[in-house]
Structure 1
Amino acid sequence: MSLLRLSLTCLSIAANALLAGGIFTFPLLSPVLALHCKLTQPQLTTIALLGMMGQYPFAALVGKVIDGYGPWACSLIASVLFSTGFGLFAAEVAKTPDDIAQPSKSSFRILAACFFLTGLGTASSYFSSIFAASKTFPQYPGAASGASMAFFGLSPLFLSLLASTYFTDPTTGLDVTRFLMFLAIASGIVHVIGAFTLRIPTSQCGVASQPDSVVSGRDEESSIDERQPLLPQKAPRSGGQAVRADEGSVLHLFRDPYFWSLAFIILIITGSCEMIISNIGTIVLSLYPNSVAGIKSLSSSAETVTTTQVRLISISNTLSRLISGPLADIISPLISHKPGDGPSPPRKYRISRVVLLSGTSLLLAGAFVYLELAIKTPGDLWILSVATGVAYGITFTILPSIVSCVWGKEDSGRNFGLITYAPLFGTPLFSYLYAFVSAHNSVGGGVCIGATCWSLTFWVCTGASLLSFVTSILLSQRWKGLV
């Protein structure tokens, strides 16, 4: 690959990742949607939830597109989805009059469908940048994918800076229509460019996608003799015991209680984090007293604080991804061990990687308790935002290595995909809990004001986080010495 082509590919990967996080700017939109479009909290939660959940259901299909055609195809698909989703969303908001008394059901359905399309676009864009990076630099797949993940983590910060700098008026607040039209156009153009620049040469894809045993097969042929078994045992999995050849099926995985224990932990951590990421805008709004004069004043002030919280979540998410990966390698180094090579060599094992999940569970529980007992003003929410970003980043960074080490590398992609379906249940569970508690405590069905909007929700989240902590401690003991 020539230097110019390599440079264009790297720039395209970074641009795709930076513009992939449009759904995470929903907290900037929600105060305006609540005050201008008169959407209720359950309706706002549904829109945000469809955007978040749009990332997960078709992940396997997006992966097949990557395998069959390459990252360029997913970039092209993301271009269409982003342009359509954000463009129609902006048009629907623009045609809503300022003086409506009740939300339009048809308008709500259109906004929800549009945001679901942007969620699908996020998954396509994320896969295009991650796999383009790892296939472009097959010798350094971890560093390459980690760098693209870091850019993706910075996306909400980057987009919120653009929103506050170019699309926000000090008196009237964020111009949602102009900002969303910008996202539609910019995301569409950047990802169309990616369809031309993310075409990885076939030879590189082949090297990147071949397993270690295939790449090194020529070197190992000379060492194979008649005393070696033709069908070597698989690597150790759950509990550290060698497994039979028929134990790699999905059914066997589902029969493993420790798989469900890990899924339970991920459900709680990611579900509560995505609930906060989606609703931080209305959490900010709830902490403003009723005495704030005027809708425009309230909206502008809330948007300023919300923008700060979105940036804090983005920064802490990115930094935690960059730090937790190397930290996990230090405290619990993994050894690449091929089946049939004999006993695994000893490794310098210190602490289980699962302990990092224990730490995120405790961090979230502490942040939730602090929110209940000490946070009284919108500016104090930075503790909740930082804790959310750190927990979210750490969880998604160390999860692939845990899954790969416990259940083997052969099906690590499939198993990781299965475990990441946990947010499909966790996110709506916590999000609708927040939505209905907030709606129950709102006056006249309007914007909910006061700690009662979320007090019950975060006490439930505290209890769930402590359950996650206990479960993770049990798992770390079960997998001691393995991961």
Structure 2
Amino acid sequence: MKNGLSRLENVLTRHMRAALQRTFTADQIRYLSFGMSLVTCLLDANVSVFSLYTPAFIAGLNYTQVSINIISGAMLLGLYLTLPLLGYFADAHGPVLLALIGLLVSPGYFLAWKVYEARAGEWWMAVAFFLIGTGTSSAYFCSLLTCARVFPDRKGLSISLPVSCYGLSAFLLAWLLTWDVFVDQATGQLHIQRVFLSLTALYAVVCAVNWVSSVVVSLEKEIVFSRLFEEERAERAERAAQADPQTDAPAGYGAVGSSGAGGPRPRPAADGVAHGTTTTPSAGGGPAAADEEAGLLDAGVVDTATHGDRFRAFLRDPSMRLVLAALFCLAGPLELYISNLGSILKNAPGSSGDERQISTQVAVFAVASTATRLSMGVLSDVLNSCRSTVRLIFAAVALTAAGFTLVAAGTRHAGLVSIVLGTAYGTVFTMFPTLVATVWGVEIFGSTWGLFLAAPAVGSILFGLFYALEYDSHCGAGGVAAGGSGAPPGPPGGGFCLRTPFAVFAVVAVAGGLCVQAGWHCYWRPQQEEAEEQQKRGCR
């Protein structure tokens, strides 16, 4: 279409775009959308508190640790493996389609409630949590893309702020679930039915807010494409006038708000929308128009290359595979850790593994992750180079390996482990999207980052199955530590029953760091040095 929107995107956003333009200025729309996207992220990370549900699943439904990891794996499949498709949908039809998908699958928690009520098997619960993961991913990714595209020149903050709010969401939910209304007074465990029904209602509201906030991307795209179309029409009119001096330029020439092929109705330019008042600027615009449109999707976003061409070029880039492998090695075990925090604490030396301790450690992990995301976003914007981004990723590798080594050693300092791994988690999920946006750009960020997020899903499932088998072999069902009454034998040589898997995860994290090092040394550093050299020659 000539307004730059697909037919589906136009249908989904038409009325909201008109309402926003009648009521707010472009700057107000932009900041309102950014704020609403952050609110969505702040309420969206319900999957991060999955470990709080596992004691009730084990006690109430007699699920084993393998069953828990099947459910967790299904949730992570929905959370990450659907992202390549969701990213393509967002690039082709705007983030608003992701908000709609999130709304359609929001009854996932209602299904989980019915499964728990019926005491059904783990596969039905896995289906419910697959829907929950897909809905969470749709809402969060929609918000992330909206923020990244509204402020494309501030990649660090526009990515780190929604990511930080998402991390803080886990802390808020872990705190809310300690309220008496969500605790079964008879057993002292979570009242799962109330929790799931409350999350069903919350999620429906979040998706509705997300739909409104995502419309700004379509609105800004329409403004840019309409301006380009009018400029092209003006150039054709000017060439026609030069060829035939007797022909006058058509009325309304160059006005963005003029009717015609650009749209079925007159539409005010960005600087002409102020609380229902409209003005039609001249083609030249002016300082007010330039200030009003600063930060909107600029003309550089409208590339002559198609989305498919850019994405195929991305797939042919060898460094893409290195980033994919690095995320598999780093994010996969980290996701496993937070999903299985309950069973880890139940067997760790000096830990009780009760729900209060699990909730406390989830909160500590979330706070460390959130603080890191904010600081990493500021650092990446200040340093503003691929080199600094890679160095911060190396710091995440070191922290991940150190945290898993502490767990394997059977440390009694659970809080220290949560801080270290929470910091690593926050760094990974802030600096990797920043690296992707820096190396491959924000134009197809939905498709590129969506593809990369398939790696944590696959990694968490494979490492999770390995962890579950080790757990059932050496720790025992119900969290009985090795060496206790009726417990299976511990690992060879004795010691902490989960020593082997976490030692393996520490080595795997180092392997992920080597993949990033290979990408930097072989591909990104030469490109950055070449760009710096060209800039120096240009200055001369």
Same-fold call, TM cutoff 0.5: yes
Who is 1:86 aligned against?
109
**Aligned in 2, Cα 1:188/1:405: closer, same or farther, shift over 3 Å?**
closer
Q: CA deviation at 1:439?
A: 1.3
Alpha-carbon separation, structure 1, partners of 2:376 and 2:320: 22
Secondary structure of the residue aligned to 2:216 is coil
Q: CA deviation at 1:202?
A: 4.6
Aligned AA (2:117): A
Q: CA deviation at 1:362?
A: 1.4
Alpha-carbon separation, structure 2, partners of 1:193 and 1:8: 11
Who is 1:307 aligned against?
359
The number of residues matched between the two structures is 415
Kept after mapping to 1: 8 A contact 2:112/2:129: yes
Secondary structure of the residue aligned to 2:479 is coil
The answer on 1:109 being equivalent to 2:123 is yes
Who is 1:455 aligned against?
499
Kept after mapping to 2: 8 A contact 1:34/1:447: no
TM-score, normalization by structure 1 = 0.75
Aligned AA (1:427): S
**Aligned in 2, Cα 1:135/1:419: closer, same or farther, shift over 3 Å?**
closer
Who is 2:145 aligned against?
131
Q: CA deviation at 1:188?
A: 1.4
Alpha-carbon separation, structure 2, partners of 1:259 and 1:302: 42
Kept after mapping to 1: 8 A contact 2:86/2:450: no
Find the partner of 1:181 among 192, 197, 201.
197
Aligned AA (2:361): Q
Who is 2:289 aligned against?
none
Q: Which moved more, 1:248-257 or 1:316-325?
A: 248-257
**Aligned in 2, Cα 1:473/1:131: closer, same or farther, shift over 3 Å?**
closer
Who is 2:321 aligned against?
260
**Aligned in 2, Cα 1:303/1:411: closer, same or farther, shift over 3 Å?**
same
Alpha-carbon separation, structure 1, partners of 2:130 and 2:157: 31
1:2-401 aligned within 5 A: 2=23, 6=29, 9=33, 12-67=36-91, 69-82=93-106, 84-96=107-119, 106-134=120-148, 143-165=157-179, 166-168=181-183, 172-196=188-212, 198-200=214-216, 202-206=218-222, 256-287=317-348, 302-331=354-383, 333=385, 351-376=387-412, 380-401=413-434
Q: Which moved more, 1:42-51 or 1:380-389?
A: 380-389
**Aligned in 2, Cα 1:199/1:473: closer, same or farther, shift over 3 Å?**
closer
**Aligned in 2, Cα 1:328/1:200: closer, same or farther, shift over 3 Å?**
closer
Secondary structure of the residue aligned to 2:53 is helix
Q: Please, which runs of 5 or more residues in structure 2 have no aligned partner?
A: 1-19, 236-305, 483-494, 529-540
Who is 1:436 aligned against?
469
Kept after mapping to 2: 8 A contact 1:288/1:449: no
Alpha-carbon separation, structure 2, partners of 1:209 and 1:435: 53
Secondary structure of the residue aligned to 1:56 is helix
Write the deviation string for residues 206-265 of structure 1: whole angstroms up to 9, x where unpaired: 45899xxx89x99xx9xxxxxxxxxxxxxxxxxxxxxxx9x9776665565433233222
Aligned AA (2:204): G
Alpha-carbon separation, structure 1, partners of 2:192 and 2:59: 12
Aligned AA (2:221): C
Write the deviation string for residues 27-51 of structure 1: whole angstroms up to 9, x where unpaired: 1001111122111111101111111
The root-mean-square deviation of aligned C-alpha atoms, in Å, is 3.5
Aligned AA (2:426): G
Aligned AA (1:306): I
Q: CA deviation at 1:372?
A: 2.2
Secondary structure of the residue aligned to 1:164 is coil
Q: Please, which runs of 5 or more residues in structure 1 have no aligned partner?
A: 97-105, 222-244, 293-297, 335-350
Who is 1:234 aligned against?
none
Q: CA deviation at 1:156?
A: 0.9
Q: CA deviation at 1:323?
A: 1.2
Larger Rg: 1 or 2?
Answer: 2
Q: CA deviation at 1:436?
A: 0.9
Who is 1:480 aligned against?
525
**Aligned in 2, Cα 1:69/1:404: closer, same or farther, shift over 3 Å?**
closer
Alpha-carbon separation, structure 1, partners of 2:439 and 2:155: 20
Alpha-carbon separation, structure 1, partners of 2:155 and 2:225: 10
Aligned AA (1:357): I
Alpha-carbon separation, structure 2, partners of 1:302 and 1:403: 40
Aligned AA (1:416): W
Kept after mapping to 2: 8 A contact 1:41/1:447: no
Who is 1:100 aligned against?
none
**Aligned in 2, Cα 1:181/1:436: closer, same or farther, shift over 3 Å?**
same
